[in-house]
């Protein structure tokens, strides 16, 4: 039987844990929704990336000497390894914390291709990092003991410890209400307009999550080839750097990067490379719905800040905005054809079709077709 998120939360707080931070994960969605309800906003902070969360938790411990908790998907361990080993490890500053990790790609459990390798090496990776862990599943009868073990190890040995959470561990907590702005477009509607207004020679690099899934389905529904599109199914936050690498190598081709607000925030520093290099053929589109939609609808920092203002302040991109289909159609040709790098922020409402599928071609096949297209 699946574990009640409230019971899991209460077991943790009974050990004095009162500070929570991290990046949302689909396997931990119900637990994160529970945290939203029971923890004040200054004690529950969704960070731009997982490394930020580890550092933030470290700062909290230094100030309060109180054990913090960080949550993340196991794909985010890549962002977290540096501060875990060079900041929190007992050989450095010896900072304790509990890290709750969703185990995507667990061997024997069907998952998306971007999670397979990470899931396969998960236990070996933790062993290599010398981080002790307990594995928790929906039928686990030792949850209380395992939580106590990782908490006591973290406190007594002054080190990070991990609770590794299997798929389906938590029962449903509640429905996250995603408020829809009726004045804003849906992402799929905006993507159709974008794809319809690209020429056949344009190169598309799209971010992870529902953006790439919708692009794939739009092409399928129109019986179009997928060769123009590099669907970045993993490596969240890096599609703009991938697109920049392509743009610099293909200066006579228009390269369109279709980004998301959560992804852009995760590695915001990539904007400085774009601004410094100023590739004339770089077209950066931000699909901004203000939430981490794929993993539960938790708010991103984009709801509180002006990402276009940041891009404008950092570099020389020509700036465009759109909130409606008419505005997008009106501005897109100028955005696409201007000289120098350009940036287009599209305000969209959260939400997608219930029957939205996933790409049916393997990443390797997508890569091969895309590379052939780049040779043209």
Residue 198 C-alpha from the chain's centroid? 26
Q: Which residues contact 308 (CB under 8 A, 6 or more apart)?
A: 286, 319, 321, 343, 345
pLDDT, residue 125, reads 97
∠ CA 301-306-310, rounded to 5°: 105
pLDDT, residue 184, reads 76
**Which CA distances in Å does 157 have to 29, 58, 90, 344?**
30, 15, 8, 49
pLDDT, residue 302, reads 87
In this structure, what token pair is assigned to residue 126?
């933790």
Give, for all 376 residues of the chain, the pLDDT tens digit.
899 999 999 999 999 999 999 999 999 999 999 999 999 999 999 999 999 999 999 999 999 999 999 999 999 999 999 999 999 999 999 999 999 999 999 999 999 999 999 999 999 999 999 999 999 999 999 999 999 999 999 999 999 999 999 999 999 997 655 555 556 799 999 999 999 999 999 999 999 989 999 999 999 999 999 999 999 999 999 999 999 999 999 999 999 999 999 999 999 999 999 999 999 999 999 999 988 887 777 888 888 899 999 999 998 789 999 999 999 999 999 999 999 999 999 999 998 888 899 999 999 999 999 999 999 8
Domains assigned to the chain: 5-165 (3.40.50.970), 185-374 (3.40.50.970)
Residue 97 contacts residue 61 (beta carbons within 8 Å): yes
Residue 271 C-alpha from the chain's centroid? 17
In angstroms, the CA 43 to CA 296 distance is 19
Backbone angles phi, psi at 101, to 5 degrees: -120, 125
List the beta bridge partners of residue 170.
3
Scanning 14-121, the segments in alpha helix (DSSP H) are: 29-38, 50-64, 77-83, 113-120
Residue 341 contacts residue 312 (beta carbons within 8 Å): no
**Which CA distances in Å does 296 have to 10, 23, 167, 225, 276?**
21, 11, 15, 31, 35
Question: Residue 221 burial (CB < 10 Å; 0-12/13-18/19+)?
Answer: exposed
pTM, 2 dp: 0.92
pLDDT, residue 263, reads 94
Scanning 222-362, the segments in alpha helix (DSSP H) are: 239-249, 261-266, 270-277, 307-314, 325-337
pLDDT, residue 206, reads 97
**Which CA distances in Å does 67 have to 31, 61, 308?**
18, 6, 37
pLDDT, residue 179, reads 53
pLDDT, residue 182, reads 53
Where is 193: in which H helix or E strand? Answer: helix 187-196
Where is 367: in which H helix or E strand? Answer: helix 363-374
3-state secondary structure 194-224: HHHCCCCCCEEEECCCHHHHHHHHHHHHCCC
């Amino acid at each position: 039987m699946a574990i009640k998120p409230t019971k899991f939360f209460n077991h943790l707080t009974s050990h004095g844990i009162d500070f929570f931070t991290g990046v949302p994960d689909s396997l931990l969605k119900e637990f994160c929704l529970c945290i939203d309800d029971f923890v004040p906003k200054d004690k529950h902070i969704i960070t731009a990336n997982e490394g930020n969360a580890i550092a933030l938790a470290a700062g909290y411990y230094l100030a309060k000497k109180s054990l913090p908790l960080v949550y993340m998907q196991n794909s985010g361990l890549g962002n977290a390894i540096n501060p875990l080993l060079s900041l929190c490890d007992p050989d450095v500053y010896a900072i304790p914390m509990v890290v709750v990790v969703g185990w995507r790609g667990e061997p024997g459990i069907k998952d998306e291709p971007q999670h397979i390798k990470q899931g396969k090496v998960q236990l070996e990776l933790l062993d290599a990092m010398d981080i002790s862990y307990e594995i928790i599943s929906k039928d686990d009868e030792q949850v209380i003991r395992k939580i106590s073990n990782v908490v006591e190890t973290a406190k007594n040995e002054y080190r990070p410890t991990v609770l590794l959470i299997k798929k389906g561990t938590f029962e449903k907590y509640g429905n996250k209400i995603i408020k829809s702005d009726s004045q804003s477009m849906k992402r799929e509607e905006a993507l159709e307009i974008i794809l319809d207004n690209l020429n056949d020679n344009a190169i598309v690099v799209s971010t992870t999550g529902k953006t790439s899934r919708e692009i794939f389905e739009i092409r399928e529904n129109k019986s179009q080839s997928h060769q123009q599109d590099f669907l970045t199914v993993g490596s969240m936050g890096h599609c703009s750097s991938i697109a920049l690498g392509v743009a610099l190598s293909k200066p006579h081709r228009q390269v369109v990067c279709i980004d998301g607000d959560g992804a852009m925030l995760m590695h915001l520093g990539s904007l400085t490379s774009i601004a410094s290099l100023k590739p004339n053929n770089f077209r950066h589109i931000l699909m901004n719905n203000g939430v981490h939609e794929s993993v539960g609808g938790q708010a991103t920092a984009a709801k509180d800040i002006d990402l276009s203002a940041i891009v404008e302040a950092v570099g020389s991109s020509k700036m465009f905005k759109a909130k409606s289909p008419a505005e997008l159609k009106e501005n897109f040709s100028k955005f696409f054809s201007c000289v120098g790098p350009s940036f287009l922020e599209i305000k969209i409402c959260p939400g997608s079709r219930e029957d939205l599928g996933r790409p049916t071609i393997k990443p390797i096949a997508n890569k091969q077709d895309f590379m052939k297209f780049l040779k043209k």
